[in-house]
């Protein structure tokens, strides 16, 4: 391959490195506003590119995240902007950039990498395992009654997104600490991404809106959404598109969703990127009206098995030895003894054998070892080891990441 793979040295180079992924969104030059926003949340040296004659033909980067895992938090590389120009595909460019990026993240002490995949067949070969499913709803508003009378709590106010950070960021942080899959947002992230409303992100939708629920004198839930107003022959045909809605208690979450479900003029409520244990499934009188549909969510890659597994908590006493196969990051390969208080290398006989991608699948609690066994993605070498692994790894909440990064 006659290309140079290296990290970007400047924001200008970073703008070039995102041109290949931009190509697939129909752009031939970097979107200057998008590139500028990216430079605010991602250092240039965290973006790798494949250079040919001073031009980037491929790009791959990683946000520096603090990722919530069951019972803890861990530095994690949020892999993004993967793209190779169609003129250069199929020549090992992605593989070479992935090698450089994951090696760098590993050396910088990030034990975990994770991503959203546009195609689910790309990343398994690099050791990423499917770690969560995510849900999408399209609910006719007239069928959105709750199963029981709704006792209102708090008061909802509309807040300009430009001034919303002080209200929404603390709520988000309270949800983050207890939700595997979510990452901490800096103030810059809120301003450059979540609460920003540039024209190019709107499509045909209305302005970004922010509703904040205050309960007992403090913000307890919020919703970010857009209205798509439409009428057909005088009848309401529009929808509200919920970008993210969350509360710091079940009551607050229920109240902010009732607010969204009760906005006049809109025929439907649409939302994406919901966790599989979303409360709406049990709040509604007619949950089938949600049209809840699944797609793959996060893909997780353990870059440092010991550090990654040590960062999360375990529920049961006992220990098990897992023989890990890892071709792309061979330093992880071998036998690991996992106990609630310690993860360490061992020479003991293993009770389970699996690819590192299977560890990625159970890491956030989105899948169980039993599910992996039923899909023949783990070998049970000692009878009962799958059940023991499930009792050790169990997690209370489904993984959730409310945004594609």
Ligand X SMILES: CC(C)(COP(=O)(O)OP(=O)(O)OC[C@H]1O[C@@H](n2cnc3c(N)ncnc32)[C@H](O)[C@@H]1OP(=O)(O)O)[C@@H](O)C(=O)NCCC(=O)NCCS
Residue 184 CB, nearest distance to ligand X (Å)? 23
Nearer CB in complex with ligand X: 67/284: 67
Q: Which helix (H) or strand (E) holds 106?
A: helix 93-107
Q: Which helix (H) or strand (E) holds 80?
A: strand 72-84
Cβ count near 126 (within 10 Å): 22
Nearer CB in complex with ligand X: 29/188: 29
Q: Which helix (H) or strand (E) holds 251?
A: helix 250-261
Residue 289 CB, nearest distance to ligand X (Å)? 32
Nearer CB in complex with ligand X: 92/279: 92
Catalytic residues: 123, 405
Q: Which residues bind ligand X (CB under 6 A)?
A: 24, 82-84, 89-95, 117-119, 121-122, 125
Cα–Cα distance, 52 to 54 (Å, whole number): 5
Cβ count near 356 (within 10 Å): 24
Cβ count near 217 (within 10 Å): 7
- Pairing verdict, β 298-302 and 133-140: unpaired
Nearer CB in complex with ligand X: 89/315: 89
Tokens at 395, concatenated = 């997690």
Nearer CB in complex with ligand X: 17/175: 17
Q: Which helix (H) or strand (E) holds 62?
A: strand 55-69
Query: Which residues have CB under 8 Å from 390's CB, separation 6+?
Result: 368, 369, 370
Residue 183 CB, nearest distance to ligand X (Å)? 17
Nearer CB in complex with ligand X: 125/396: 125
> Strand runs (DSSP E) across 174-237, as ranges?
209-215, 218-228, 231-232, 235-236
Buried b (16+ CB within 10 A) or exposed e, 84-111: bbeebeebebbebbbbbbbebbbeeebb
Residue 176 CB, nearest distance to ligand X (Å)? 24
Residue 100 CB, nearest distance to ligand X (Å)? 12
> Strand runs (DSSP E) across 106-262, as ranges?
112-116, 129-130, 133-140, 155-159, 209-215, 218-228, 231-232, 235-236, 238-247
Cα–Cα distance, 80 to 77 (Å, whole number): 9
């Amino acid at each position: 391959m006659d290309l140079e793979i290296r990290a970007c040295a400047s924001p200008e180079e970073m703008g070039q490195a995102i041109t290949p992924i931009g190509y697939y969104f129909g752009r031939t030059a970097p979107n200057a506003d998008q590139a500028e926003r990216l430079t605010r949340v991602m250092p240039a040296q965290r973006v790798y590119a494949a250079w040919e004659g001073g031009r980037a033909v491929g790009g791959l980067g990683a946000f520096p995240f603090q990722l919530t895992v069951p019972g803890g938090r861990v530095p994690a590389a949020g892999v993004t902007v993967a793209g190779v120009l169609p003129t250069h595909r199929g020549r090992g460019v992605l593989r070479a950039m992935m090698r450089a990026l994951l090696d760098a993240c590993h050396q910088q002490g990030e034990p975990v990498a994770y991503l959203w995949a546009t195609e689910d067949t790309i990343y398994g070969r690099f050791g990423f395992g499917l770690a969560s499913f995510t849900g999408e709803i399209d609910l006719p508003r007239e069928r959105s009654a709750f199963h029981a009378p709704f006792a209102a709590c708090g008061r909802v106010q509309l807040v300009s997104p430009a001034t919303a950070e002080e209200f929404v960021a603390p709520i988000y942080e309270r949800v983050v600490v207890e939700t595997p899959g979510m990452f901490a947002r800096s103030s810059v992230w809120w301003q450059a991404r979540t609460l920003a409303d540039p024209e190019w992100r709107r499509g045909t939708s209305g302005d970004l809106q922010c509703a904040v629920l205050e309960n007992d004198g403090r913000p307890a839930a919020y919703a970010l959404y857009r209205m798509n107003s439409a009428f057909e022959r005088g009848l309401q045909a529009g929808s509200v598109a919920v970008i993210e809605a969350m509360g710091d208690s079940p009551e607050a979450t229920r109240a902010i969703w009732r607010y969204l479900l009760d906005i006049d003029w809109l025929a439907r409520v649409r939302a994406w990127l919901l966790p599989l244990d979303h409360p709406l499934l049990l709040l509604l009188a007619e949950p089938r009206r949600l049209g809840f549909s699944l797609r793959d969510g996060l893909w997780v890659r353990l870059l440092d098995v010991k550090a990654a597994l040590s960062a999360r908590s375990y529920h049961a006493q006992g220990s098990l030895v897992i023989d890990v196969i890892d071709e792309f990051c061979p330093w992880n390969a071998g036998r690991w003894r996992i106990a609630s208080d310690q993860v360490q290398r061992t020479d003991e006989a293993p009770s389970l054998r699996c690819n590192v991608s299977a560890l990625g699948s159970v890491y956030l609690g989105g899948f169980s070892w039993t599910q992996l066994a039923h899909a023949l993605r783990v070998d049970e070498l000692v009878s009962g080891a799958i059940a023991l692994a499930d009792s050790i790894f169990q997690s209370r909440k489904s993984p959730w990441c409310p945004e594609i990064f």
